[in-house]
Amino acid sequence: GPGRPLLLSTPIFYANGPPHIGHLYSALLADALLRHRRLRAAGPARLCTGTDEHGLKIQQAAAAAGTSPAELCERVSGLFRQALTQAGVAYTDFTRTSEPRHQRAVRQFWGALRDGGMLYKGAYEGWYCTPEESFLPESQLAERTDAQGRPCKVSLETGHEVHWTKEENYMFRLSAFRDPLQNWLRDNPRAIFPDPFYQCVLRWLDEDLPDLSVSRERSRLQWGIPVPNDPTQTIYVWVDALVNYLSVVGYPESHGTWWPAVHHVVGKDILKFHALYWPALLLAAGLEPPERILVHSHWTVRGQKMSKSLGNVVDPSVCVGQYGVDGFRYFLLRQGVPERDCDYYDEKVVKLVNSELADALGGLLNRTTAPSINPSNTYPRFSESCFPKVLDSREAKGTGRVCAEDYELVAAVASLPAQVDSYFESFQIYKALECIVQCVRQTNGFFQRHRPWKLDRRDAAEQLWLDTILHITLECLRVYGTLLQPVVPHMADKLLSRLAVGPRERGLSGLIFLARYDGKPCPFEGRQLGPDTGILFHRLGKLETVKKRKQAQVPDKQL
């Protein structure tokens, strides 16, 4: 209900290498949801993120780099903090799994599983994938040859090589949770979203659900949290990592304020860990599953998966330098569709942000506030006689200078805040942006159609009509600026400041469009506009972006 707390989370990112745009996409989705909720004044909200700093992969990466795991994690964790801050991600909490508070929570969680009879010690063998830190069944493997031409097995999904591993580990009774998980999902059809991922998890639950190995032999894995009362075993990295969502809210003492009002934003590659293992572990520890798991797909680069070997990993700090914070955020959130993989390349970014931010939105603001059109630099008055109200915009024929398309614009912008709100709630931020862009285009059409620069201010009737055109256009811009705050916060602030919209007038809960059309007072009418804030969004050049990217590329060994 309204006023309740909500915790939004990104995955904690694995600290074996620097951030790429896939990491930032998760964070930007969560950040936009957080900002949108705050603008709605819907209740306390937090955004947690961080770095996952244990596991065999980090132990090996540190050895290869000639450093200690602790030093590697310190450095890489700093890179993630820097990248998130550069991209304007307003996180409230940053968890490192090497922190004492987190390790204490993990030990407590393990104790809850043990005390509930959910753990037992058993021999385990299977194909282990170190990059994915998981055992994989035969059905998820393929035969390949390695660099030396020898036959080997690899993960079907990622292509990473797997190795046969036999250990004595602690096992979690995952098989006992098939029915509880099915019941949870049946009772909560929006628990996993979008729907294709929900259906995918239901299919997994129709298959065998074998017990899960939740520890590794300490002799193989020293870099991790030891199993309480058994120094020969290390807690499995995924159990350790998932508990960050509890440790950040004060588990085991004070988590009840926030849990289970939690929305996890995760990539599809870690869906099984979040939608099967994590809810089962929570139920086993006497806790409820998270309220929602919001899943997104991956980014490719010119149709290819990002990889160091291809040299096509996109560095987010380079992107921010090229396109600006708002350009980078806008592209990822406008083009990213959670249900399917999306493709990235420089020319695509340049074309999109130039067209929609620099030209359509920035151009409209420039034209409406230009001294030649609006010499008094004010929010002009609206005239009901120039723009009379109609009961149904779909049946409006137009009266005087006003035409049917003008009434369509007013109806579209009036319904826009509710539409955008609905799309944010359903994790379809790209659709919210599509709707805004469509309205921006309609507004440009309205302005162009009535050619205010041709009107004679010496004629009282023409002055009234000119003021009405400007009033409607500025009202449209005010709505767009308000709705765009979660996606392009700096640019939206620039736009709203130019329109003299105060800090307390930027919320979504009281957003009313064109009040004068409905015969109500408009608080902005007659107000002096804010100072000129300059070009809203500078157009990007085509060649310089690619050139900058090449200059900024860093060899793998320096990462």
Rounded distance, CA 258 to CA 428, Å? Answer: 24
> Angle at Cα 176 formed by Cα 174 and Cα 179, nearest 5°?
110
Looking at residue 312, its pLDDT comes to: 73
- The answer to whether residue 535 sits within a structural domain is no
CA distances for 223 relative to 50, 75, 362, angstroms: 18, 16, 52
Domain boundary among 344, 370, 392: 344
CA distances for 226 relative to 36, 95, 173, angstroms: 41, 19, 20
**CA-based nearest residue to 404, from 395, 413, 412:** 395
Looking at residue 16, its pLDDT comes to: 86
105, 225 Cβ separation under 8 angstroms: no
Q: Both tokens of residue 488?
A: 């392009």
Same domain assignment for residues 197 and 100: yes
Give the orientation angle of helix 316-335 with respect to helix 21-39, to 10 degrees. 60
Rounded distance, CA 310 to CA 320, Å? Answer: 22
Give the model's confidence band at 381: pLDDT under 50 very low, under 70 low, under 90 confident, else very high.
Answer: very high
Rounded distance, CA 548 to CA 319, Å? Answer: 10
Looking at residue 387, its pLDDT comes to: 92
Query: How would you classify residue 43: left for phi > 0, otherwise alpha for psi between -120 and 50, otherwise beta?
Result: left
Q: Both tokens of residue 137?
A: 């069944």
547-555 LR contacts (CB < 8 Å, sep 24+): 548/318, 548/321, 548/322, 549/318, 549/322, 549/346, 552/315, 552/318, 552/321, 553/311, 553/315, 553/318, 554/315
Same domain assignment for residues 209 and 323: yes
CB contact set of 417 (below 8 Å; sequence gap of 6+): 479, 482, 483, 508, 511, 513
304, 310 Cβ separation under 8 angstroms: yes
Tell me which DSSP letter residue 537 carries.
S
Give the tens place of pLDDT for each residue, 473-511. 999 999 999 999 999 999 999 999 999 999 999 999 889
Q: Is the pLDDT of residue 525 over 80?
A: yes
Same domain assignment for residues 466 and 495: yes
Same domain assignment for residues 311 and 363: no
Looking at residue 311, its pLDDT comes to: 73
Looking at residue 199, its pLDDT comes to: 97
Same domain assignment for residues 215 and 113: yes
430, 334 Cβ separation under 8 angstroms: yes
Give the tens place of pLDDT for each residue, 384-396. 989 998 876 555 5
Q: Specify the 3-state DSSP secondary structure of 516.
A: helix
- The answer to whether residue 544 sits within a structural domain is no
Q: How far is CA 213 from the centre of its chain?
A: 31
- The answer to whether residue 547 sits within a structural domain is no
Query: How would you classify residue 210: left for phi > 0, otherwise alpha for psi between -120 and 50, otherwise beta?
Result: beta
- The answer to whether residue 538 sits within a structural domain is no
Domain boundary among 316, 344, 372: 344
Same domain assignment for residues 403 and 310: no
- The answer to whether residue 536 sits within a structural domain is no
Pairing of strands 215-217, 226-227: unpaired
**Percent of the chain having pLDDT more than 90?**
73
> Angle at Cα 317 formed by Cα 312 and Cα 322, nearest 5°?
85
Rounded distance, CA 249 to CA 259, Å? Answer: 8
CATH code at position 392: 1.10.730.10
503-510 LR contacts (CB < 8 Å, sep 24+): 506/39, 506/482, 507/39, 507/40, 507/41, 507/482, 508/36, 508/39, 508/40, 508/41, 508/417, 508/421, 508/482, 508/483, 509/39, 509/40, 509/41
Q: Name which of 139-143, 180-184, 333-337, 364-368 the model is least confident about.
A: 139-143
Say if pTM beats, i.e. exceeds, 0.75. yes
N residues, the chain: 559
Same domain assignment for residues 304 and 233: yes
Rounded distance, CA 379 to CA 470, Å? Answer: 8
As a whole number, mean pLDDT of residues 6-25 equals 93
Q: Is the pLDDT of residue 231 over 60?
A: yes
Q: How many domains does the chain have?
A: 2
As a whole number, mean pLDDT of residues 239-259 equals 95
User: What one-letter code names the amino acid at 228?
Assistant: P
441-444 LR contacts (CB < 8 Å, sep 24+): 441/360, 442/405, 442/408, 442/409, 442/412, 442/413, 443/364, 443/409, 443/413, 443/473, 443/476, 443/477, 444/360, 444/363, 444/364
Residue 455 CB: number of other CB atoms within 10 A? 18
Looking at residue 27, its pLDDT comes to: 97
Give the tens place of pLDDT for each residue, 152-206. 899 887 888 888 888 889 999 999 999 999 999 999 999 999 999 999 999 999 9
Q: Is the pLDDT of residue 543 over 50?
A: no
> Angle at Cα 471 formed by Cα 359 and Cα 365, nearest 5°?
20
Looking at residue 549, its pLDDT comes to: 42
- The answer to whether residue 159 sits within a structural domain is yes
Same domain assignment for residues 320 and 358: no
Looking at residue 97, its pLDDT comes to: 95
The structure tokens 């990213």 sit at 336
Pairing of strands 134-136, 119-129: antiparallel
Domain ranges, residue 366: 348-528
Same domain assignment for residues 363 and 240: no
Give the model's confidence band at 2: pLDDT under 50 very low, under 70 low, under 90 confident, else very high.
Answer: low
Domain boundary among 329, 344, 359: 344
- The answer to whether residue 296 sits within a structural domain is yes
Same domain assignment for residues 380 and 319: no
- The answer to whether residue 554 sits within a structural domain is no
CATH code at position 331: 3.40.50.620
Give the tens place of pLDDT for each residue, 299-309. 888 887 877 76
Q: How far is CA 218 from the centre of its chain?
A: 36
DSSP conformation letters of 410-464: HHHHHHHHHHHHHHHHTT-HHHHHHHHHHHHHHHHHHHHHH-GGGS-TTSHHHHH
Same domain assignment for residues 338 and 362: no
Same domain assignment for residues 89 and 68: yes
